[in-house]
Amino acid sequence: IGLDTSREIVKSGPKNLVLLDRIDNPAAIAELSALNPKVTVTFYPYDVTVPLAETKKLLKTIFDKLKTVDLLINGAGILDDHQIERTIAVNFTGTVNTTTAIMDFWDKRNGGPGGVIANICSVTGFNSIYQVPVYSASKAAALSFTNSLARLASVTGVTAYSINPGITKTVLVHKFNSWLNVEPRVAELLLEHPTQTTVQCAQNFVKAIEANQNGAIWKLDLGRLNPIEWT
């Protein structure tokens, strides 16, 4: 989803796209740069599980260079319920810490200009895949956190919405571990359901970015984009 969304974002034509990931992928950066020469695409290595202070230092480098940043997308995620601590650290704590770090630069209470946060959560945040209870719970947490952020926008000047993909044909869901192996065939069972492609998901992601609606809970499933009512 990350690469296809980056492609769609580059096509939509921002001035800059900064990619943060654990592993550099020079071929992908080159491809994205070639896709739209008007967009400057840069890469920084970043692991969302590093301490808050380290994230702040990296963000300072980026803000010093670009002066302003309009949108932060928190998209790091793993799906492996054999790795409890890491699932929670990447899917939940990583999103909280990266968001907390960028507030130093955006919070209007510090004279910041505000900003927009798009958190990639998952439909499992509200309809869990119970065979991966740790993954599903980490996504429920990321979703709850995002909804709270949106309600804090009047205080911080920072708006937020969540992107909740349904089952998408990615390497993530091709094969993964259930909690205590409660269902060894969970990946196969999941892929028996109707799915969507990463390109469909990415195109709807960019539509959600363009809608730019504080507090929206976007469901991106089966090639469609729908707002969810939270009751």
- Which range, of 3-11, 27-35, 136-144, 187-195, touches its own copies by CB under 8 A? 136-144
Question: Greatest CA separation found in the chain?
Answer: 52
- CA 35, CA 185: separation in Å to the nearest integer? 39
Among 30, 34, 71, 155, binds its own copies (CB under 8 A): 155
Which residue, 211, 12, 14, 97, is CA-closest to 220? Answer: 211
CB-based contact 222:166 (threshold 8 Å):
yes
Considering the complex, what minimum distance in angstroms separates the CB of residue 221 from its own copies? 17
Task: Assess whether 46 carries a catalytic annotation.
Answer: no
> DSSP secondary-structure letter at 192?
T
- Say which of 44, 46, 130, 135 is annotated catalytic: 135
CB-based contact 92:74 (threshold 8 Å):
no
Collapsing DSSP to helix, strand or coil, 117 comes out as: strand
Is 36 near its own copies (CB under 8 A)? no
Among 97, 164, 196, 203, binds its own copies (CB under 8 A): 97
Is 17 near its own copies (CB under 8 A)? no
Question: Which are the contacts of 157, defined by CB distance < 8 A and separation ≥ 6?
Answer: 106, 107, 108, 109, 112, 113, 114, 115
Which H or E element spans position 72? Answer: strand 71-74
Considering the complex, what minimum distance in angstroms separates the CB of residue 16 from its own copies? 26
Is 188 near its own copies (CB under 8 A)? no
Is 131 near its own copies (CB under 8 A)? yes
Residue type, 24: D
Q: Which is closer to its own copies, CB of 32 or CB of 137?
A: 137
Which residue, 56, 32, 61, 27, is CA-closest to 44? Answer: 61
Q: Which is closer to its own copies, CB of 12 or CB of 93?
A: 93
CB-based contact 8:1 (threshold 8 Å):
no
Among 5, 6, 122, 147, binds its own copies (CB under 8 A): 147
Contact set with its own copies (CB under 8 A):
52, 84-85, 88, 92-93, 96-97, 100, 103, 107, 125, 128, 130-131, 133-134, 136-145, 147-149, 151-152, 155-156, 179-180, 182-183, 231
Residues recognised as catalytic:
135
